[in-house]
Amino acid sequence: MYNHAMPVSEAEKRQLEERSYAVLHNWMSPELLTEARAALDAQFAAEGDNAGAEFRKEQETQRLANLVDKGEIFRRIVSMPEILEYVAAVIPGDFKLSSLNARAPNPKSDWVQPLHCDTGAVADEKGNSVCNVIWMLDDFTPENGATRLVPGSHKWLRLPQDAVTDTMAPHPDEILLTAPAGSVAVVNTHAWHGGTANRSGGTRRCLHAFYCRWDKPQQQFQRDMLSEATKAGLSPALRQLLAIDDAYNAEISLANPFRSGFLK
Ligand SMILES: O=C(O)CCC(=O)C(=O)O
């Protein structure tokens, strides 16, 4: 059975505040999961060796970037009202989509991402400015590269690279975000986190719908990265979520392009 969560409960808000994440188990309907997998696989096939090139490539990993431009299902996914309620529980006030990427660590690989905070950001006097929603399109297991996370570390206001000698090493307090395919993890990504190695023989596909506060640059500047055809078909609500007509967003996003927490 899949389970469409009701608006964010007080317990979930507490969990997000104290532990940095909430996992909505089996949140996607079977139809949505099948559709998302098919769209992602088709996009990987279409882009081939060039996949992910609009943003950054990562060793031993398949990535896709700028997915809002690449299918209606992706636009639907970033704007699901129930999920945006969770994002609003992390980021105070107005927020926007920063980027929609996909990530699949190669099977039978030892590559582990360093612990990082998304875009290298710590919370500031206005509070949290980043939230990543991980749409799990395969089971996330200890063997296939489930995301690791140090719960509560979003409150430390320090980047892991400034605090530990080896960001690739396991952290004593880290946990793995494990859940069945079709689950959705909402993560305060000021928390220290990263992908782990996919030592299994199977795929571990996910979408990263990354949101940021209104006053932070978009990781992928949607106004310029989306085609005219895509933009012409956007609803007013999506135009707002993507900050298409936001002059301040244009100014700061053009001045700070493609910021990652660790990819160069
Ligand atoms: O895919 C994952 O498990 C986490 C990826 C991540 O944190 C990133 O690419 O910034």
Q: What phi and psi values does residue 129 have, to the nearest 5 degrees?
A: -125, 0
The answer to whether position 2 is within a domain reads: no
- Rounded to the nearest whole angstrom, what is the distance from the C-alpha of residue 174 to the centroid of ligand 1? 15
pLDDT tens for each residue of 75-92:
999 999 999 999 999 999
H/E segment holding residue 154: none
217 assigned to some structural domain: yes
Give me the domain span that covers residue 56. Answer: 10-255
Our count of domains for the chain comes to 1
Q: Which is the closest atom of ligand 1 to the Cα of 177?
A: 3
Distance 245 CA to ligand 1 centre (A): 29
3-class secondary structure, 109: coil
CATH number at residue 81: 2.60.120.620
Compute the average pLDDT of residues 93-101. 97
- 262 in a domain, yes or no? no
Interval 7-60: pLDDT, tens = 899 999 999 999 999 999 999 999 999 999 999 999 999 998 888 888 778 889
Residue 261 C-alpha to ligand 1 middle, in angstroms?
A: 10
The values of phi and psi at residue 116, to 5°, are -155, 170
131, burial (CB in 10 Å: exposed 0-12, middle 13-18, buried 19+): buried
Residue nearest atom 8 of ligand 1, based on CA coordinates: 194
Q: Ligand 1: distance of its center to the CA of 192 in Å? A: 11
Q: Is residue 140 part of a domain?
A: yes
137 inside domain? yes
Q: Is 195 in the pocket of ligand 1 (CB under 6 A)?
A: yes
- Given a contact cutoff of 8 angstroms between Cβ atoms, the answer to whether 186 and 149 are in contact is no
Q: Is the dihedral of CA 230, 48, 262, 18 positive or negative?
A: positive
Q: Which residue shows structure tokens 């989306």?
A: 226
Strand blocks (E) in the chain: 21-24, 61-64, 95-105, 130-136, 147-149, 175-177, 184-187, 193-195, 206-213
Task: Return the axis-axis angle of helices 10-19 and 81-90, rounded to nearest 10°.
Answer: 50
Residue 208, in any domain of the structure: yes
| Residue 34, both tokens | 């099948």
Average pLDDT, the chain: 94
Q: Which of 140, 187, 193 to mutate to test the pocket of ligand 1 (most atoms within 8 A of CB)?
A: 193
In this structure, is residue 194 part of a structural domain? yes
106 neighbors 139 (Cβ within 8 angstroms): no
Buried b (16+ CB within 10 A) or exposed e, 7-28: ebeeebeebbeebbbbbbebbb
pTM of the model: 0.96
pLDDT, position 56: 77
Q: What is the spatial distance between Cα 149 and Cα 189, in angstroms, rounded to a whole number?
A: 9
Kindly compute the dihedral angle of the four CA atoms of residues 122, 129, 137, 259, in this order, to the nearest 10 degrees.
-70
Q: Judge whether 78 and 184 are in contact, CB under 8 Å.
A: no
Which is more confident, 257 or 176?
176
pLDDT at 2: 47
Mutate to test the pocket of ligand 1, among 186, 208, 259 (most ligand atoms within 8 A of CB): 208
- Asked whether residue 92 is assigned to any structural domain, the reply reads yes
